[in-house]
């Protein structure tokens, strides 16, 4: 189990969902939605500084055939920028296939219609991404996903 906090990020073109887990826990919870744009790295770096994670997991949108498309390349580029903005913190890419769809179903099950989901869906997707990574860590005893460097 992790001795430090973890962050999960769902990186979209309009909004970036952020989730966290505490040290020595296996429970992910929503933190924030950051607007994508000019100040995104500064805002994300401030969240990293506040939570002091050992690893930041960034959801990688691989298509259903397991291939990297434009969305995956966009996310890898953004993750590289984040990694440069938070030196010393490991950034790992984790498969996020269907995380937004799963989050949407969960929110719908909680009574949130599509309009009500708009403000929180990115955080819920980040929770799905982080929870999957935490579950993998617990099962395997190692960090989930792939280190950012291996995707170059």
Mean pLDDT by 10 residues, the chain (152 residues): 87 94 92 94 97 96 86 95 96 79 52 53 89 94 86 43
Domain segments of the chain as ranges: 5-147
Q: What is the pLDDT of residue 122?
A: 85
Give the total residue count for the chain.
152
Residue 52 to residue 38: CA distance in whole angstroms: 23
Who's near 140: CB < 8 A, 6+ residues apart?
none
Q: What is the pLDDT of residue 150?
A: 45
| Domain 5-147 CATH class label | alpha beta
Q: What is the pLDDT of residue 135?
A: 93
Q: What is the pLDDT of residue 65?
A: 83
Could you tell me the pTM of the whole model?
Answer: 0.85
Q: What is the pLDDT of residue 103?
A: 46
Residue 90 to residue 47: CA distance in whole angstroms: 15
Region for residue 24 given its phi and psi (left: phi exceeds 0; alpha: psi -120 to 50; beta: otherwise): left
Q: What is the pLDDT of residue 152?
A: 42
């Amino acid at each position: 189990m992790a001795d430090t906090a973890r962050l999960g990020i769902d990186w979209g073109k309009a909004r970036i969902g952020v989730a966290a887990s505490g040290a020595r826990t296996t429970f992910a919870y929503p933190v924030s939605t950051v607007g994508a744009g000019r100040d995104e790295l500064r805002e994300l770096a401030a969240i990293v500084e506040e939570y002091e994670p050992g690893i930041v997991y960034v959801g990688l949108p691989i298509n259903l055939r397991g291939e990297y498309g434009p969305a995956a390349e966009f996310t890898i580029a953004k993750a590289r920028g984040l990694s440069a903005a938070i030196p010393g913190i490991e950034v790992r890419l984790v498969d996020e296939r269907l995380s937004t769809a799963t989050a949407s179903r969960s929110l719908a099950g909680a009574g949130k219609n599509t309009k009500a989901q708009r403000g929180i869906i990115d955080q819920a997707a980040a929770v799905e991404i982080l929870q999957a990574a935490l579950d993998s860590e617990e099962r395997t005893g190692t960090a989930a996903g792939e280190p950012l460097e291996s995707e170059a």
